[in-house]
Structure 1
Amino acid sequence: MRLGGIFDRWNNQSLARQFLIAGGLVSLAAALLVGAYVTRLIEATVTRNSAASTALYVDSIIAPLLPDMKTSRTLDDVTTRALDETFGQGALGGKVISFRLWRLDGTVLYATDKGMVGKRLAPDEDLRTAFSGQMVARFGPPDDPESEIEKAADKPLLEIYNPILQPWSGEVVAVSEFYEIADDFQQSLHQAQFRSWLAVAGVTLAFFLLLSAIVFRGSRIIDSQRQTLTQRVTELSDLLSQNRALHARAQRASRRATALNESYLRRLGADLHDGPAQLVAYAALRVDSRLLTDPATPPTAREKEVSTIKARLDEAMNEIRSICSGLVLPQIETAELPDVLRRAVDAHRQRAGLDVVLSMSNSVQPLSPSAKICIYRFVQEALNNGFRHGGGIAQGVRQTFENGNVVIEVADRGPGFDPDSVRPEGLGLAGLRERIESLGGTFGIFTSPNGTTVRMSLNVQEMEQA
């Protein structure tokens, strides 16, 4: 659980913060490793170069003093005194704190510490390396058991094992071991190490800052793109929800439209059957009456019968025209919204014989033909319902634009009604609601004892896109 919490907190950090932490630790570790490696190389290189120059200097001074080390097993008194003077008061007296001359078998031929002369010791690793022909140099406190004097000096020392070669054969005949006081060398080495650490830290810091700038820029771009993507996903989710709602609404509207269409057809059939069909049937029966078929019928009676048949047929034609006028809309596809509203209101005025107050906004917005038909049918049906159920008292039509929506309100001062009492299978209000919602609009009824207002709204921009 604890590791899981740590991982969760780590994953919740931004990419830039994760890089600062992880990259900082890695850069610090890399700087320490590289710095340690570089300083060790510098120390080894500087030590070897300094030891080589010192060994060359010492060799140039003592080489002329030494006899043939290939044949000599000891040093005579003259050579010993010359070496004592060289390392005591001569040029090497202030630089070399101790000196030993080793023979191949591990015997000390000469030493500034006289107690070591003539001793035979087992050669250590450094001495064996020098006998093989390679110079050995070490900086630091001596660790040899025989180096008690050097340890007691308490000074920085440079320990050097230098092979002495026979001039004509190049064979190693002896090894000189000496300890140089390395105060200046230590200071130079520390300066070189400090500069190397400074260079490594500077380069590491520069790379880290450069990478941090790149990572921070990339992190900001990623965060911005993530926010944009989240916003797009949210918008797409909202659109998907709206599409689902519209799809469900369209399905409901389709089912309802099918039912309404069947209801309209039944009503139309009933209207044709109960009206014009009955009148035509009556006329057909009268045509076969004895008054018309009997030659003995008086002309006056015959003319009266024909007039009656003609009146019934005229009445049937009038009802058929009335039904057709309700089914066929006037030419409103090319008309503007104010003309559509005027035609709907004028048609109601002619049918009902009552005045209707029409209020319209001054602005004009382009609408699709389906929107114009929807508005015309809405005004027509709402005025008819207000006339039929509310007595047509103080009817009015008001049109406005609100937030990109065209809003139509049809109101009257009738007694109102209970919206819950409207039958779901009714054709009027249910048909209006389905027609309006199928276009993505809204439909509402507000009723009270003081009157009723039926309201519809369509989004102009959505209609234009559709």
Structure 2
Amino acid sequence: MLLVGAFVTSLIEAAVTRNSGAATALYVDSVIAPILPDLKTAETLDDVTTRVLDETFGQGALGGRVISFHLWRADGTVLYSTHKDMVGHRYPPNEDLKTAFAGQMVAGFGYPDDPESSAERALGKPLLEIYNPVLQPWSGEVVAVSEFYEVAEDFHSSLTQARLKSWLAVAGVTLLFFLLLSAIVFRGSRTIATQQKALTERVTELSGLLSQNRALHLRAQRASQRATALNESYLRRLGADLHDGPAQLVAYAALRVDSELLVDPGAARDAREKEVAAIKERLQEAMDEIRSICTGLVLPDIETADMPDVLRRAVAAHSQRTGASVELSMDGPSRRLSPSAKISIYRFVQEALNNGFRHAGGLGQKVRQGFVDGNIVIEVSDRGQGFEPSATRPGGLGLAGLRERIESLGGTFNITTSSEGTILSMSLNLNEMEHA
């Protein structure tokens, strides 16, 4: 702004000074040109010309406007001056005088500093100094230069106003550009800040998702390892149940088939029938145990059943097998669930009721189904003496299997136990189940 303001002000000052000087020079030249003789050949001015110039610059409009006047010859000699002591003296030509003899009008505003301008400096006022070439009428050749000083108080006021207006204009334009650039930068900064915030939130969200994915991956790995171990344990338990139960009974029956009572023709009929009845009884016991094992392995047809029907079937199967009474309560409308969710819920109720019957004698068993914050919640409770979860049998498969089955579907499994009873609860997210 300072550089542009200084440059514009200097241009305006130069233009105003030149235009004002040109107007004054034209006016003075129109007055004195008819008075001057042929300065091409004249070495000095005659008395008549001198007297007319004295009268011209001593009175009238021109005399009140021009405070001093000098007429120069090309070698620096003063042909005429309103200061008589300078007439005939020769001074070294300055740059302005040389420029004027080259045919150009020179105008300047300020305090004169030339050696021959001591009288003008004594006024202590800024003056308009003008060098105007005097041309020969018929040839246009510069034969002399007129130098005069004008008191330019009005000019000084106008020049000050022009400087002030030019500075104000430059400052205003600079301020406008500054405001526009500030607005652009502020808007860009706000956009960058908004994008940075959105990017930070996105990175945070992606970091959270990445952490969740890592946790889910580790969870899936652990679940897969535990599922493999649980499957092996299930197979070992199933094999042990078959070996210790039906296999022993069948083996016992096979040994009795080869008994002497059955192969000896002379054995008593009553003893032989009693042996056959014992064999049948052992075989029937083996069949009952095999059916019991199969009943625990085979699920009823629940793929097409709704949620209330699944719970009723689980409770009814438990009551039929154990003879225990179970209270069932269901809240809210039925919701559509995937077959895997129904199987998990059925197994959860089945295993929880079996544990409650085994450890609490089936005392006060209840099954409750409800909805909490978009989750389906199943609770199985009893009024037994409770137990210590950490003290459960290491090889036990029931609770561990339930936890793995439920958590593999993204659900939660909890145990709350005290001396007043035990509550096993599970929850599954309905939205995730419907999406699945």
Normalized against structure 2, the TM-score is what?
0.92
Measured after TM superposition, the shift of residue 464 of structure 1 is 3.3
Q: In the alignment, which residue of structure 1 is the partner of 2:191?
A: 221
Residue in structure 2 matched with residue 18 of structure 1 by the alignment: none
From 171, 179, 188, the equivalent of 1:209 is 179
| Amino acid paired to 1:339 | D
Separation (CA, whole Å) in 1 of partners of 2:393 and 2:131: 118
Identity %: 76
Q: CA deviation at 1:202?
A: 2.8
What is the DSSP-based 3-state SS (H/G/I as helix, E as strand, rest coil) of the residue aligned with 1:339? helix
User: What is the match of residue 170 of structure 2?
Assistant: 200
- Report the CA distance between 1:289 and its aligned residue: 4.9
Rounded to whole Å, the distance in 2 between the matches of 1:232 and 1:274 is 60
Query: For 1:51, which of 11, 21, 33 is the aligned residue?
Result: 21
Q: What is the aligned partner in structure 1 of residue 343 from structure 2?
A: 373
Instruction: For 1:177, give the aligned amino acid.
Output: E
Aligned pairs for 1:154-193 within 5 A: 154-193=124-163
Following TM superposition, by how much is the alpha carbon of 1:103 offset from its aligned partner in structure 2, in angstroms?
0.9
Q: Does 1:322 align with 2:292?
A: yes
SS state at 2:108 partner: strand
Q: Which of the two has higher C-alpha Rg?
A: 2
Equivalent pairs, count: 436
Q: Would the aligned equivalents of 1:415 and 1:450 in 2 still touch at CA under 8 Å?
A: yes
Q: Cα 1:77–1:425, aligned 2, differ >3 Å: closer, same or farther? A: farther
Match of 1:231 in 2: 201
Query: What secondary structure sits across from 1:94 in the alignment?
Result: helix
Measured at CA, do residues 202 and 282 of structure 1 come closer, stay the same or move farther in structure 2, by a change above 3 Å? same
Q: What residue in structure 1 maps to residue 380 of structure 2? A: 410
1:74-153 paired onto structure 2 within 5 Å: 74-153=44-123
What residue in structure 1 maps to residue 221 of structure 2?
251
Task: Please give the per-residue CA displacement for 1:135-158, whole angstroms capped at 9, x wherever unaligned.
Answer: 211111212232222222233311
| Superposition deviation, residue 356 in structure 1 | 0.9
| 1:388 paired residue among 316, 334, 358 | 358
Q: In the aligned structure 1, how far is the partner of 2:362 from the partner of 2:107?
A: 121
Unaligned 5+ segments in structure 2 are: none
Aligned to 1:441: 411
Answer whether contact 1:138 1:159 (CA < 8 A) is retained.
yes
Give the Cα separation in 1 of the matches to 2:203 and 2:94. Answer: 77
Give the AA of the match of 1:86: T
What residue identity is the alignment partner of 2:5? Answer: G
- The range that moved more, 260-269 or 169-178, is 169-178
Deviation of 1:310 (Å): 4.2
SS at the partner of 1:179?
strand
Q: Secondary structure at the match of 2:62?
A: coil
How far is 1:87 from its partner?
1.2
Q: Give the Cα separation in 2 of the matches to 1:401 and 1:39.
A: 83
Q: Distance in 1 between matches of 2:27 and 2:113?
A: 25
Please give the secondary structure, in 1, of the residue aligned with 2:308: helix
Task: Write out per-residue CA displacement over residues 219-266 of structure 1, whole angstroms, 9 at most, x where no aligned residue.
Answer: 333333333333333333333332222222222111111111110011
Alignment of 1:460 onto 2:420:
no
Q: 2:255 and 2:142 mapped to 1: Cα distance? A: 154
**CA–CA distance in structure 1, aligned partners of residues 296 and 228 of structure 2:** 20
Shift of 1:62: 1.4
Q: Please name the residue that 1:22 is paired with.
A: none
Q: Following the alignment from structure 1 to structure 2, what is the Cα–Cα distance between the partners of residues 438 and 238?
A: 21
C-alpha change, 1:437 and 1:122, in structure 2 (3 Å) is same
Instruction: Tell me what 1:16 maps to.
Output: none
Query: Counterpart of 1:153 in 2: which secondary structure?
Result: coil
TM-score, with structure 1 as normaliser:
0.86
Taking a change above 3 Å as real, the CA distance of residues 286 and 103 of structure 1, as seen in their structure-2 partners, is same
Amino acid at match of 2:377: V
Give distance in 1, aligned partners of 2:259 and 2:409.
Answer: 55
CA contact (8 A) 1:249 1:437 kept: no
Query: Larger deviation: 252-261 or 284-293?
Result: 284-293
Cα displacement string for residues 41-62 of structure 1 (whole angstroms, at most 9, x for unaligned residues): 1111111111112112211221
| Match for residue 324 of structure 2 among 354, 358, 370 | 354
Which deviations, in whole Å up to 9, do the C-alpha atoms of 1:107-127 show, x marking residues without a partner? Answer: 111111112111111112222
SS at match of 2:115: coil
1:309 to partner: Cα distance: 4.2
Q: 2:5 aligns with which of 35, 42, 59?
A: 35
Q: How does 1:7-46 map to 2 (within 5 A)?
A: 31-46=1-16
Distance 1:424 1:248, change over 3 A: farther
The Cα of 1:361 is off from its aligned counterpart by: 0.9
Q: Write the deviation string for residues 294-325 of structure 1: whole angstroms up to 9, x where unpaired.
A: 66777776665555444444433332222122
